[in-house]
Amino acid sequence: MTPMRILVIGQSGQLARALVDSGRNIGVQIETIGRPALDLGAPDQARNTLESRLTGTNRPELVINTAAFTAVDAAEGKKAAAFQLNRDAVCLLAEVCAAADCPLIHVSTDYVFSGQPGRPWQEGDQPAPVSAYGASKLAGETALAQTWSKHIILRTAWLFSEHAPNFMTKIIERARTQSIIRVVNDQIGSPTPARDLATTLLDMARQVRDGTTPWGLYHYAGDTAMSWADFAEAVIREAGLPDCRIERIASSDFPAAAERPSWSVLDSHRTTEVFGCAAADFKAGLSRAVHHYMRLT
Protein backbone atom coordinates (compact mmCIF):
# COMPACT_ATOMS: atom_id res chain seq x y z
CA MET A 1 0.00 0.00 0.00
CA THR A 2 1.29 3.49 -0.83
CA PRO A 3 2.13 5.70 2.16
CA MET A 4 -0.81 7.82 3.29
CA ARG A 5 -0.55 11.50 2.31
CA ILE A 6 -1.50 13.85 5.14
CA LEU A 7 -1.51 17.65 5.17
CA VAL A 8 -0.85 19.15 8.60
CA ILE A 9 -2.03 22.72 9.13
CA GLY A 10 0.62 24.36 11.33
CA GLN A 11 4.36 24.07 10.99
CA SER A 12 6.43 25.44 13.85
CA GLY A 13 4.05 24.41 16.66
CA GLN A 14 4.92 21.56 19.01
CA LEU A 15 2.15 19.23 17.81
CA ALA A 16 2.95 19.85 14.13
CA ARG A 17 6.57 18.99 14.87
CA ALA A 18 5.60 15.87 16.82
CA LEU A 19 3.44 14.76 13.88
CA VAL A 20 6.39 15.12 11.53
CA ASP A 21 8.57 13.04 13.90
CA SER A 22 5.91 10.33 14.30
CA GLY A 23 5.08 10.25 10.60
CA ARG A 24 8.75 9.69 9.77
CA ASN A 25 8.84 6.71 12.14
CA ILE A 26 5.85 4.95 10.60
CA GLY A 27 6.32 5.86 6.95
CA VAL A 28 3.41 8.29 6.54
CA GLN A 29 3.92 11.09 4.02
CA ILE A 30 3.36 14.30 5.99
CA GLU A 31 3.46 17.78 4.58
CA THR A 32 3.13 20.74 6.94
CA ILE A 33 1.90 24.16 5.97
CA GLY A 34 2.14 27.31 8.10
CA ARG A 35 3.03 30.94 7.84
CA PRO A 36 3.97 32.66 5.58
CA ALA A 37 2.68 30.20 2.91
CA LEU A 38 -0.61 29.84 4.80
CA ASP A 39 -1.76 32.66 7.08
CA LEU A 40 -5.14 31.76 8.52
CA GLY A 41 -5.45 35.35 9.73
CA ALA A 42 -5.83 36.39 6.07
CA PRO A 43 -8.97 34.45 5.04
CA ASP A 44 -9.10 35.18 1.28
CA GLN A 45 -5.48 34.26 0.71
CA ALA A 46 -5.84 31.24 3.04
CA ARG A 47 -8.88 29.96 1.13
CA ASN A 48 -7.03 30.19 -2.20
CA THR A 49 -3.96 28.46 -0.79
CA LEU A 50 -5.99 25.66 0.78
CA GLU A 51 -8.20 25.16 -2.27
CA SER A 52 -5.24 24.76 -4.58
CA ARG A 53 -3.49 22.45 -2.10
CA LEU A 54 -6.54 20.23 -1.68
CA THR A 55 -7.48 19.96 -5.34
CA GLY A 56 -4.09 19.81 -7.04
CA THR A 57 -2.17 16.72 -8.06
CA ASN A 58 -0.69 14.85 -5.12
CA ARG A 59 -3.48 16.21 -2.95
CA PRO A 60 -3.70 14.88 0.62
CA GLU A 61 -6.02 12.05 1.64
CA LEU A 62 -6.65 13.75 4.98
CA VAL A 63 -6.00 17.04 6.77
CA ILE A 64 -4.99 17.42 10.44
CA ASN A 65 -5.46 20.90 11.88
CA THR A 66 -3.02 21.82 14.67
CA ALA A 67 -3.09 25.58 14.02
CA ALA A 68 -4.70 27.74 16.65
CA PHE A 69 -4.46 30.92 18.67
CA THR A 70 -2.98 29.14 21.70
CA ALA A 71 -1.89 32.07 23.92
CA VAL A 72 -4.51 31.63 26.67
CA ASP A 73 -3.85 34.92 28.49
CA ALA A 74 -3.34 37.00 25.34
CA ALA A 75 -6.70 35.75 24.03
CA GLU A 76 -8.49 37.74 26.76
CA GLY A 77 -7.26 41.02 25.27
CA LYS A 78 -7.42 39.80 21.67
CA LYS A 79 -10.80 38.07 21.55
CA ALA A 80 -11.44 38.96 17.90
CA ALA A 81 -8.11 37.46 16.83
CA ALA A 82 -8.68 34.33 18.94
CA PHE A 83 -12.15 33.75 17.46
CA GLN A 84 -10.87 34.53 13.98
CA LEU A 85 -8.28 31.75 14.20
CA ASN A 86 -10.02 29.26 16.48
CA ARG A 87 -13.55 29.54 15.00
CA ASP A 88 -13.61 31.33 11.62
CA ALA A 89 -10.47 29.72 10.22
CA VAL A 90 -11.70 26.28 11.32
CA CYS A 91 -14.98 26.95 9.50
CA LEU A 92 -13.07 28.03 6.40
CA LEU A 93 -10.91 24.92 6.55
CA ALA A 94 -14.02 22.74 6.96
CA GLU A 95 -15.64 24.37 3.90
CA VAL A 96 -12.57 23.77 1.74
CA CYS A 97 -12.25 20.17 2.98
CA ALA A 98 -15.96 19.54 2.31
CA ALA A 99 -15.66 20.87 -1.24
CA ALA A 100 -12.68 18.56 -1.83
CA ASP A 101 -14.32 15.61 0.02
CA CYS A 102 -11.25 15.46 2.25
CA PRO A 103 -11.66 14.21 5.86
CA LEU A 104 -10.52 16.63 8.57
CA ILE A 105 -9.13 15.85 12.02
CA HIS A 106 -9.18 18.92 14.25
CA VAL A 107 -7.48 19.32 17.63
CA SER A 108 -9.34 21.00 20.49
CA THR A 109 -8.84 21.51 24.19
CA ASP A 110 -9.78 20.57 27.76
CA TYR A 111 -10.28 24.32 28.37
CA VAL A 112 -13.78 24.03 26.89
CA PHE A 113 -14.77 22.78 30.37
CA SER A 114 -15.63 24.85 33.40
CA GLY A 115 -13.58 22.93 35.90
CA GLN A 116 -15.94 21.83 38.60
CA PRO A 117 -14.13 19.00 40.38
CA GLY A 118 -15.49 15.51 39.83
CA ARG A 119 -14.90 12.58 37.54
CA PRO A 120 -12.87 12.96 34.33
CA TRP A 121 -14.76 14.82 31.59
CA GLN A 122 -16.42 12.66 28.93
CA GLU A 123 -17.41 13.64 25.41
CA GLY A 124 -21.10 13.94 26.32
CA ASP A 125 -20.47 16.36 29.20
CA GLN A 126 -21.63 19.93 28.85
CA PRO A 127 -18.77 22.34 28.05
CA ALA A 128 -18.76 25.73 29.78
CA PRO A 129 -15.51 27.54 29.05
CA VAL A 130 -14.23 30.12 31.53
CA SER A 131 -11.79 31.88 29.16
CA ALA A 132 -11.89 33.52 25.74
CA TYR A 133 -9.47 30.86 24.48
CA GLY A 134 -11.79 28.06 25.66
CA ALA A 135 -14.86 29.80 24.23
CA SER A 136 -13.18 30.35 20.87
CA LYS A 137 -12.05 26.70 20.67
CA LEU A 138 -15.57 25.52 21.53
CA ALA A 139 -16.98 27.80 18.83
CA GLY A 140 -14.52 26.20 16.39
CA GLU A 141 -15.76 22.72 17.32
CA THR A 142 -19.35 23.80 16.68
CA ALA A 143 -18.48 25.45 13.36
CA LEU A 144 -16.70 22.34 12.15
CA ALA A 145 -19.48 19.97 13.23
CA GLN A 146 -22.05 22.13 11.39
CA THR A 147 -19.97 22.42 8.22
CA TRP A 148 -18.38 19.08 7.35
CA SER A 149 -19.56 15.63 8.39
CA LYS A 150 -16.32 13.75 7.73
CA HIS A 151 -14.56 15.13 10.78
CA ILE A 152 -12.98 14.04 14.02
CA ILE A 153 -12.56 16.57 16.83
CA LEU A 154 -9.94 15.37 19.29
CA ARG A 155 -9.77 17.28 22.57
CA THR A 156 -6.46 17.05 24.36
CA ALA A 157 -4.75 18.73 27.32
CA TRP A 158 -1.53 20.17 28.78
CA LEU A 159 0.79 19.16 25.90
CA PHE A 160 4.49 18.74 26.51
CA SER A 161 7.44 17.61 24.40
CA GLU A 162 11.12 18.27 23.75
CA HIS A 163 10.00 21.00 21.32
CA ALA A 164 10.22 24.24 23.34
CA PRO A 165 8.50 26.27 24.55
CA ASN A 166 6.05 24.37 26.73
CA PHE A 167 5.52 23.92 30.48
CA MET A 168 8.05 21.09 30.74
CA THR A 169 10.85 22.96 28.95
CA LYS A 170 10.12 26.17 30.90
CA ILE A 171 10.38 24.33 34.24
CA ILE A 172 13.69 22.74 33.23
CA GLU A 173 15.11 26.10 32.15
CA ARG A 174 14.04 27.80 35.38
CA ALA A 175 15.22 24.89 37.56
CA ARG A 176 18.68 25.22 36.04
CA THR A 177 19.06 28.70 37.53
CA GLN A 178 16.55 29.07 40.38
CA SER A 179 16.31 27.32 43.74
CA ILE A 180 12.55 27.84 44.15
CA ILE A 181 9.79 27.92 41.54
CA ARG A 182 6.25 28.88 42.58
CA VAL A 183 3.64 26.77 40.76
CA VAL A 184 -0.14 26.63 41.13
CA ASN A 185 -1.51 23.61 42.92
CA ASP A 186 -5.27 24.09 42.53
CA GLN A 187 -5.69 23.39 38.82
CA ILE A 188 -5.87 19.67 38.02
CA GLY A 189 -5.46 18.31 34.51
CA SER A 190 -3.99 15.57 32.34
CA PRO A 191 -0.49 16.33 31.02
CA THR A 192 -0.15 14.70 27.60
CA PRO A 193 3.03 13.84 25.69
CA ALA A 194 2.70 15.48 22.26
CA ARG A 195 4.44 12.46 20.73
CA ASP A 196 1.69 10.09 21.95
CA LEU A 197 -1.00 12.46 20.74
CA ALA A 198 0.70 12.55 17.33
CA THR A 199 0.82 8.74 17.19
CA THR A 200 -2.88 8.58 18.07
CA LEU A 201 -3.79 11.17 15.42
CA LEU A 202 -1.92 9.16 12.78
CA ASP A 203 -3.56 5.95 13.96
CA MET A 204 -6.95 7.63 13.61
CA ALA A 205 -5.93 8.82 10.12
CA ARG A 206 -5.07 5.26 9.12
CA GLN A 207 -8.47 4.07 10.32
CA VAL A 208 -10.14 6.87 8.34
CA ARG A 209 -8.36 5.56 5.25
CA ASP A 210 -9.56 2.02 6.03
CA GLY A 211 -13.10 3.40 5.98
CA THR A 212 -14.00 2.27 9.48
CA THR A 213 -14.33 5.66 11.16
CA PRO A 214 -17.17 6.71 13.41
CA TRP A 215 -16.85 10.48 12.95
CA GLY A 216 -17.33 12.89 15.84
CA LEU A 217 -15.91 14.06 19.12
CA TYR A 218 -13.23 12.27 21.17
CA HIS A 219 -10.95 12.91 24.13
CA TYR A 220 -7.31 11.88 24.33
CA ALA A 221 -4.91 12.80 27.14
CA GLY A 222 -2.31 11.46 29.56
CA ASP A 223 -3.33 8.72 32.00
CA THR A 224 -2.43 10.59 35.22
CA ALA A 225 -4.37 13.50 36.73
CA MET A 226 -2.24 16.04 38.61
CA SER A 227 -1.79 19.71 39.42
CA TRP A 228 0.71 21.98 37.66
CA ALA A 229 2.82 21.78 40.84
CA ASP A 230 2.80 17.95 40.74
CA PHE A 231 3.74 18.14 37.06
CA ALA A 232 6.62 20.54 37.80
CA GLU A 233 7.94 18.26 40.57
CA ALA A 234 7.82 15.27 38.23
CA VAL A 235 9.79 17.27 35.65
CA ILE A 236 12.61 18.33 37.98
CA ARG A 237 12.82 14.82 39.44
CA GLU A 238 13.07 13.29 35.97
CA ALA A 239 15.60 15.92 34.87
CA GLY A 240 17.76 15.31 37.95
CA LEU A 241 17.73 18.93 39.16
CA PRO A 242 17.46 18.44 42.94
CA ASP A 243 18.73 21.93 43.84
CA CYS A 244 15.38 23.38 42.82
CA ARG A 245 12.24 23.12 44.96
CA ILE A 246 8.61 23.63 43.89
CA GLU A 247 6.59 25.94 46.13
CA ARG A 248 2.87 25.16 45.85
CA ILE A 249 0.66 28.23 45.51
CA ALA A 250 -3.01 28.98 44.81
CA SER A 251 -4.21 30.40 41.48
CA SER A 252 -5.19 33.54 43.41
CA ASP A 253 -1.48 34.04 44.28
CA PHE A 254 -0.59 34.03 40.60
CA PRO A 255 -2.90 36.53 38.88
CA ALA A 256 -3.30 35.86 35.16
CA ALA A 257 -5.43 37.53 32.51
CA ALA A 258 -7.37 34.33 31.81
CA GLU A 259 -9.18 32.13 34.29
CA ARG A 260 -8.30 28.44 33.99
CA PRO A 261 -10.53 25.48 34.89
CA SER A 262 -9.70 24.05 38.30
CA TRP A 263 -10.51 20.55 37.01
CA SER A 264 -10.02 19.68 33.32
CA VAL A 265 -9.08 16.00 33.50
CA LEU A 266 -10.13 14.25 30.29
CA ASP A 267 -11.51 10.71 30.05
CA SER A 268 -9.92 8.93 27.05
CA HIS A 269 -11.98 5.73 27.27
CA ARG A 270 -14.10 6.37 24.18
CA THR A 271 -10.98 6.87 22.04
CA THR A 272 -9.60 3.61 23.41
CA GLU A 273 -12.83 1.72 22.70
CA VAL A 274 -13.34 3.07 19.19
CA PHE A 275 -9.78 3.45 17.89
CA GLY A 276 -7.84 1.13 20.20
CA CYS A 277 -5.59 3.99 21.37
CA ALA A 278 -5.02 3.83 25.13
CA ALA A 279 -4.55 7.03 27.15
CA ALA A 280 -0.94 8.22 26.97
CA ASP A 281 1.48 6.82 29.54
CA PHE A 282 2.46 10.03 31.36
CA LYS A 283 5.51 8.60 33.13
CA ALA A 284 7.06 7.05 30.04
CA GLY A 285 6.24 10.09 27.91
CA LEU A 286 7.77 12.47 30.45
CA SER A 287 10.95 10.43 30.72
CA ARG A 288 11.35 10.34 26.94
CA ALA A 289 10.65 14.06 26.46
CA VAL A 290 12.80 15.27 29.39
CA HIS A 291 15.84 13.22 28.36
CA HIS A 292 15.47 14.18 24.72
CA TYR A 293 15.32 17.87 25.72
CA MET A 294 18.30 17.52 28.09
CA ARG A 295 20.37 16.02 25.25
CA LEU A 296 19.40 18.91 22.96
CA THR A 297 20.19 21.74 25.40
Ligand X SMILES: NC(=O)c1ccc[n+]([C@@H]2O[C@H](COP(=O)([O-])OP(=O)(O)OC[C@H]3O[C@@H](n4cnc5c(N)ncnc54)[C@H](OP(=O)(O)O)[C@@H]3O)[C@@H](O)[C@H]2O)c1
| Residues that are catalytic | 133
Spatial separation of the C-alpha atoms in residues 76 and 57, rounded to whole Å: 41
| 66 is an interface residue for ligand X by CB under 6 A | yes
CA-CA distance, 229 to 249, in Å (whole number)?
8
Segment contacting ligand X by CB under 6 A, of 102-110, 222-230, 234-242, 268-276: 102-110
**Of the candidate residues 158, 218, 228, 263, the single one contacting ligand X (CB under 6 A):** 158
Residues in the chain: 297
Supply the DSSP symbol for 10.
B
Based on CB atoms, which residue is closest to ligand X, 158 or 275?
Answer: 158
Among 4, 6, 7, 10, binds ligand X (CB under 6 A): 10
- Rule CB under 6 A: say whether 234 interacts with ligand X: no
Q: Give the interface segment with ligand X, choosing from 51-59, 66-74, 113-121, 287-295 (CB under 6 A).
A: 66-74
- Binding of residue 144 to ligand X (CB under 6 A): no
Examine residue 156 and tell whether it contacts ligand X (CB under 6 A): yes
Q: How far apart are CA 90 and CA 106, in angstroms?
A: 8
Alpha helices in the chain (DSSP H): 14-26, 43-55, 72-77, 79-83, 89-99, 132-147, 167-175, 194-209, 228-239, 269-275, 282-296
User: Per-residue string for binding with ligand X, 69-88, x by CB under 6 A?
Assistant: -x--------------x---
Which residues make Cβ contacts (< 8 Å) with residue 69, sequence separation at least 6? 75, 78, 81, 82, 84, 85, 86, 133, 136
* Stretch of residues binding ligand X (CB under 6 A), selected from 19-27, 103-111, 238-246, 254-262: 103-111
The residue ranges that bind ligand X (CB under 6 A) are 10-16, 34-35, 38-41, 66-68, 70, 85, 107, 109-110, 137, 156-159
